[in-house]
Amino acid sequence: MLTLVTGTTGQVGRRFVPRLLAQARPGEGVRVLVRDAARAERFAELGAEVVIGDLRDAEALGKAVAGVDAVVNVAAAFRGVPDEEAWAVNRDAALELGRAALASGVRRFVQVSTGLVYGVGRGRPLTEDDEIRPGGSMWGAYAESKGIAERELLALEGLDVRVGRLAFVYGEGDPHLAQSLMWAGNWAATQKLHMVHHADVAQGLLRLLHAPGVDGRIYNIADDAPVTAVELHQLNGVDVPAELHDRADPDPWFQLTSTDRIRRELGYRPLYPSVYAAREAGAL
């Protein structure tokens, strides 16, 4: 089995690929698509095949998917990018990758998405059967472009697509935890953020990649203990602004997701059920 991974130089991809390589069995291989050859050296040293090219280039896509059995599409344009880039990467390139995979005979396609596609809360933990309602100015086109990519990839006949919706990713030196204060500083004290450690992102994606019979299934990937704006300040060693306590939480269930499906169907259990467990283990 040969697996292609995209987005390998981003925060998620650079941590996922070594784990995928480490658990590979005899006869299994990993191929990575990267734009910069210098940034691919680490993966090559670990044993990955390297294809140099851009996800948005049809010729590069053809080379990347040739002979591949499975694809894990981690690539994403996230915060701080123009909306047109978010659409180009998150929707257009993802769909072209899916079509190229289908044409090349790829058997399995894992699409990495986000819990932000749910949009507003529903008064309880969000489940994979909930309608997606992406929107809001804070994230630009990120959530909406990811949501449309999910829908259109799942509609490709003949391609076994499974989707992993990630909570807010942190850990192992990822700057996301510190960057969370960009928003948490403007939240109410009790407003919560649902998180997931990189080790559990990798665990979840590996389960989606290898599980038989889950064509068309969507899975939330998150930890067990969302943290408040107050806790985010404390975890970052920053004083809690007094004004946080004067604000009301506009949506107490925003992005709080249920992991019941991935637990019951794929046996997922967070290695770091809370950010505090990760901190105690030295894994922040």
Contact status, residue 185 vs residue 146, Cβ threshold 8 Å: no
pLDDT at 80 over 80: no
Please report the pLDDT score of residue 78 as a whole number. Answer: 82
Element (H, E) at 44: helix 41-46
- Kind of pairing, strands 108-114 and 70-73? parallel
Please report the pLDDT score of residue 23 as a whole number. Answer: 95
Task: Indicate the residue type of 282.
Answer: G
The proportion of the chain whose per-residue pLDDT surpasses 70, expressed as a percent, equals 99
Please report the pLDDT score of residue 134 as a whole number. Answer: 84
Structural domain harbouring 174:
2-280
Contact status, residue 209 vs residue 71, Cβ threshold 8 Å: no
59 is written with which tokens?
């010729």
Contact status, residue 159 vs residue 101, Cβ threshold 8 Å: yes
12 band by pLDDT with thresholds 50, 70 and 90: very high
The residue written with tokens 């995209």 in the block is 6
Q: What is the pLDDT of residues 36-72, one digit of tens each?
A: 888 889 999 999 999 999 998 989 999 999 999 999 9
Average pLDDT over residues 6-12: 95
Q: What is the pLDDT of residues 124-169, one digit of tens each?
A: 999 999 999 987 666 679 999 999 999 999 999 999 999 999 999 9
CA distances from 140 to 120, 143, 193 (A): 15, 8, 18
Residue 212: phi and psi, rounded to 5, are -80, 150
Please report the pLDDT score of residue 137 as a whole number. Answer: 61
Q: What is the pLDDT of residues 91-100, one digit of tens each?
A: 999 999 999 9
pTM of this prediction? 0.96
Average pLDDT over residues 260-272: 98
209 band by pLDDT with thresholds 50, 70 and 90: very high
Q: What is the pLDDT of residues 212-224, one digit of tens each?
A: 999 999 999 999 9
Identify the CATH number of the domain in which residue 94 sits.
3.40.50.720
The proportion of the chain whose per-residue pLDDT surpasses 90, expressed as a percent, equals 92
Please report the pLDDT score of residue 171 as a whole number. Answer: 98
Is residue 77 classed as helix, strand or coil in its secondary structure?
coil
| Distance separating alpha carbons of residues 79 and 33, to the nearest angstrom | 22
Please report the pLDDT score of residue 136 as a whole number. Answer: 65
Number of domains in the chain: 1
